[in-house]
């Protein structure tokens, strides 16, 4: 029996914090009782924390369709370097992930990935917001999250139908089918390339007001109330959105939410130099919004940190600001930014980056902890003492559109174990 041991680390999961060595049976990929004997392979975790591998609810892998920007393999490598052992891929591929054929294609391409790829699929065919995708057929293939991400589903009636239909689908693992919404009322946001406010006025760039997001957050909460349907709200970016989600949860509605590192780290002032690396939807907002997002993450209003990792080739970002595509990469910086900016204990970070997103994605049986014998070994080993400066070009992603280039952060992923295999050792991908 080939074994891998992690020695000298402090295990931190939802159960608490304890000094422990961990031993993994590499054939099964599962944690086994540490019996004190030496293992076939040893990894040093001294001075580090061993936590459940992170789960990202929101990743654009660009395959099929735009393999110059990212592939499933390169994106999974970037994820592994960021401590992620599972990521939910977004359906805005080309062709759109709205059919069994494309879902199967993504799953086949993911077979050798450095982390688990859980595909989401579109709610509507072609993400056109007109006709429902075959949700039942796709759920049978393992899809648990549906989203038209990139745009919000504008049609109120269709969103209601989708919620009702999804809530009646029965799947073998008993997980919820979740409708995940990019909240943006497009008639109000139309043409806006950054947050509407002082900076957009001064820069002469078309803005989209916070209310464009908040209108759809409000509608989806109302539709969840109407249908009992399970709604997940993506990348909250405004103080108003956070407050509405807080109230919805107080009312007991089945609503969850995520926020991105860029929305809790950066403001619209970053757009002052017209560099499209700072262009993203929803846009970077104000100081007040950043503080509200941080508060929402701290008090449990927002369930998860998700990256909205959105690779774009260099030439795409060399267009003028208003013409460049929105989006920024974030897999390799997410943990450090969360640890640096949120002022939370590692245990609370684990809740936001692993336990909660694993639950929302329907992956709790194998991701998100707890770290106990018998569980699949999906782990990240993080060094909380390391301070480092982000180098946007030093990434396994095929794209380098990180808005955090030059930022000083604390906390770094040292090793990542995916189903028992050390896919990252000392900050380097092993394959």
Partner 1 sequence: MSNLLDIEGLERRELEHYLELAESFAEVQTRSIPKVPVLRGKTVVLAFFEDSTRTRMSFDLAARRLSADVVNFAVSSSSTTKGESLRDTVETISAMGVDGIVVRHSSSGAPQRITEWTDAAVINAGDGWHQHPTQALLDCYTIRRRLGSLEGKQIAICGDIKHSRVARSNIAAFTKLGAEVTVVGPRTLMPADLAAWPVRYSPGIDEIIGDLDVAYMLRIQQERQGAPLFPSVREYRSLYGLTRARAERLPARALIMHPGPVNRGVELDPEVMDDERTVVLDQVTAGVSVRMAVLYRLLGPGQFDETSKPPETSLAELAASTASSEPVGESPAAENVTSTDSASGEVATSFDALTSEVAV
Q: Which residues are catalytic?
A: 308
| Residue 24 near residue 32, CB atoms below 8 Å | yes
Query: Within 195-224, which residues bind partner 1 (CB under 8 A)?
Result: 196-198, 200-207, 209
- Interface with partner 1 (CB under 8 A), residue from 157, 315, 393, 428: 315
Looking at beta carbons only, is 64 or 325 nearer to partner 1?
Answer: 325
What six digits make up the tokens of 109? 């391409």
State the minimum distance, in angstroms, from the CB of residue 277 to partner 1: 11
Longest alpha-carbon distance in the chain: 67
| Residue 83 near residue 335, CB atoms below 8 Å | yes
Does residue 406 interact with partner 1 by CB under 8 A? no
Nearest to 24 by CA among 33, 16, 37, 14: 33
- Interface with partner 1 (CB under 8 A), residue from 104, 112, 168, 190: 190
Buried b / exposed e along 160-194 (16+ C-beta atoms within 10 A)? bbbbebbbeeeeeeebbbbbbbbbbbeebbeebbb
Residues of the chain by 3-state class (helix, strand, coil), percent to 5:
30, 25, 45
Q: What is the distance between the terminal CA atoms of the chain, rounded to a whole angstrom?
A: 23
| Residue 200 near residue 206, CB atoms below 8 Å | yes
State the minimum distance, in angstroms, from the CB of residue 192 to partner 1: 10
Looking at beta carbons only, is 86 or 210 nearer to partner 1?
Answer: 210
State the minimum distance, in angstroms, from the CB of residue 243 to partner 1: 21
Listed in sequence order, the DSSP H helices in 88-189 are 100-109, 135-140, 156-167, 186-189
State the minimum distance, in angstroms, from the CB of residue 265 to partner 1: 22
Does residue 393 interact with partner 1 by CB under 8 A? no
Task: Please report, for residues 90, 243, 368, 376, the alpha-carbon distance to residue 20 in angstroms, rounded to integers and kept in the order given.
Answer: 37, 40, 18, 17
Looking at beta carbons only, is 47 or 198 nearer to partner 1?
Answer: 198
Query: Within 109-148, which residues bind partner 1 (CB under 8 A)?
Result: none
Does residue 308 interact with partner 1 by CB under 8 A? no
Looking at beta carbons only, is 4 or 271 nearer to partner 1?
Answer: 271
Does residue 343 interact with partner 1 by CB under 8 A? no
Does residue 99 interact with partner 1 by CB under 8 A? no
Q: Considering only the stretches 44-52, 56-64, 255-263, 271-279, report the one whose residues sit in contact with partner 1 under the rule CB under 8 A.
A: 271-279
Report the distance separating Cα 53 and Cα 38, nearest Å: 24
Identify the DSSP state of 341.
H
Does residue 320 interact with partner 1 by CB under 8 A? yes
Does residue 288 interact with partner 1 by CB under 8 A? no
Strands (E), 29-148: 30-32, 41-44, 49-52, 54-59, 84-89, 116-119, 145-146
State the minimum distance, in angstroms, from the CB of residue 286 to partner 1: 11
Looking at beta carbons only, is 112 or 323 nearer to partner 1?
Answer: 323
Listed in sequence order, the DSSP H helices in 112-235 are 135-140, 156-167, 186-189, 198-203, 210-227
State the minimum distance, in angstroms, from the CB of residue 200 to partner 1: 6
Nearest to 140 by CA among 115, 181, 162, 171: 171
Does residue 311 interact with partner 1 by CB under 8 A? no
Looking at beta carbons only, is 190 or 387 nearer to partner 1?
Answer: 190
Q: Considering only the stretches 136-144, 168-176, 315-323, 390-398, report the one whose residues sit in contact with partner 1 under the rule CB under 8 A.
A: 315-323
Number of residues that bind partner 1 (CB under 8 A): 25
Looking at beta carbons only, is 150 or 369 nearer to partner 1?
Answer: 150
Buried b / exposed e along 60-81 (16+ C-beta atoms within 10 A)? bbbbbebeebbbbbbbbbbbbb
| Residue 194 near residue 283, CB atoms below 8 Å | yes
State the minimum distance, in angstroms, from the CB of residue 403 to partner 1: 16
Does residue 274 interact with partner 1 by CB under 8 A? yes
Looking at beta carbons only, is 286 or 378 nearer to partner 1?
Answer: 286
Q: Which residues contact 211 (CB under 8 A, 6 or more apart)?
A: 185, 188, 240
Does residue 287 interact with partner 1 by CB under 8 A? no
Query: Within 359-378, which residues bind partner 1 (CB under 8 A)?
Result: none
Instruction: Write out the residues near partner 1 by the rule CB under 8 A.
Output: 190-191, 196-198, 200-207, 209, 273-275, 315-316, 318-323
């Amino acid at each position: 029996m080939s074994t891998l041991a992690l020695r000298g680390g402090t295990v931190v999961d939802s159960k608490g914090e304890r000094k422990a060595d961990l031993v993994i049976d590499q054939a099964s990929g599962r944690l086994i009782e540490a019996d004190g004997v030496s293992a076939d392979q040893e990894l040093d975790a001294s001075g580090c924390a061993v936590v459940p591998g992170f789960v990202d609810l929101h990743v654009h892998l660009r395959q099929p369709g735009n393999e110059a920007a990212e592939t499933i393999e390169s994106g999974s490598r970037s994820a592994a370097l960021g401590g992620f052992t599972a990521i939910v891929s977004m359906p805005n591929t080309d062709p759109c992930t709205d059919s069994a054929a494309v879902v199967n294609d993504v799953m086949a391409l993911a077979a050798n990935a450095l982390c688990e790829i859980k595909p989401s699929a579109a709610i509507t065919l072609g993400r056109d917001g007109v006709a429902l995708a075959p949700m039942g057929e796709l759920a049978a293939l393992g899809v648990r999250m549906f989203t038209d991400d990139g745009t919000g589903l504008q049609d109120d009636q269709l969103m209601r139908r989708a919620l009702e239909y999804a809530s009646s689908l029965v799947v073998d693992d008993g997980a919820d089918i979740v409708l995940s919404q990019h909240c943006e009322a497009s008639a109000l946001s139309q043409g806006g390339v950054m947050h509407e406010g002082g900076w957009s006025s001064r820069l002469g760039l078309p803005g989209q007001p916070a209310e464009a997001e908040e209108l759809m957050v409000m509608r989806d909460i109302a539709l969840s109330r109407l249908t009992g349907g399970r709604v997940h709200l993506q990348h909250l970016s405004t103080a108003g959105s956070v407050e509405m989600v807080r109230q919805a949860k107080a009312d007991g509605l089945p609503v969850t939410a995520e926020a991105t590192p860029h929305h809790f780290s950066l403001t619209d002032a970053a757009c002052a130099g017209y560099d499209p690396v700072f262009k993203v939807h929803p846009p970077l907002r104000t100081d007040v919004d950043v503080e509200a997002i941080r508060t929402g993450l701290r008090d449990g209003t927002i369930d998860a940190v998700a990256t909205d990792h959105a690779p774009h080739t260099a030439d795409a970002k060399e267009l003028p600001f208003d013409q460049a595509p929105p989006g920024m990469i974030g897999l390799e910086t997410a943990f450090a930014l969360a640890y640096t900016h949120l002022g939370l204990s590692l245990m609370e970070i684990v809740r936001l980056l692993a336990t909660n997103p694993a639950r929302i994605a329907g992956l709790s049986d194998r991701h998100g902890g707890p770290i106990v014998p018998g569980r699949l070994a999906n782990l990240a080993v993080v060094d909380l003492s390391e301070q480092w400066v982000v180098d946007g070009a030093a990434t396994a992603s095929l794209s380098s559109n990180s808005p955090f280039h030059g930022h000083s952060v604390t906390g770094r992923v040292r090793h990542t174990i995916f189903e028992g295999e050390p896919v990252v050792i000392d900050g380097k991908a092993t394959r």
